[in-house]
Amino acid sequence: MTIPENMLYPRTGDKETIYLKNAISNPNIIVGDFTMYNDFVNDPTLFEKNNVLYHYPINQDKLVIGKFCSIACGAKFLFNSANHTLSSLSTYPFPLFFEEWNLEKKAVTQAWDNKGDIIVGNDVWIGYETVILAGVHIGDGAVIGTRAVVTKDVPPYTIVGGVPAKPIKKRFPEKTISMLLDMQWWNWSNDKIAHSIKAIQAGKIDKLQ
């Protein structure tokens, strides 16, 4: 399952919506096929600059986003270098200014707490101006509400919202969620997905077996 190579704008005449995978150059940002980003404020092709923040190469942390995700305007992914370490007696990032304080350059990452990569599953909807913090894992099929601040992992097919984001409800009964996770329709062939779109949109999982 792939999108046409180098296809950036999937909608004729729409320069606000892109297939995000084809706008990424940073090897530490990995995006799945058909995941889209819409931005009506800034150029959506500047996603790496405007939306992936404090993502410094020295830390080697990763942003991984699955297939068929929908990312709304202004969503932000806030990485480890935004964190000031809390284990120190001071939150001031002395290691960043290693030259002035005669510290070792290789110790610069001691200025922040490293909470790990940001992992977003498949078929995830990330709402307008959401903020997702370092170390968070978001499960397949989850929905992140407008302007939520996601500080903890989000289970599959769970709707969360608020500051900090908290579960609101499950999208489907547990049996349906289990079937969807086993089915992984996002890994089907283009032809099979195209044949199944009506059933997917109608919520008729029994028609997908």
- Catalytic sites, residue numbers: 84
The residue type found at 53 is L
| Rounded Cα distance, 196 and 100, in Å | 62
Q: Which residues make beta-bridge pairs with 143?
A: 125, 159
Q: With CA atoms as reference, report the closest residue to 146 among 124, 163, 158.
A: 163
Task: Name the strand (E) or helix (H) holding 160.
Answer: strand 158-161
Residues 61/79, Cβ–Cβ less than 8 Å: yes
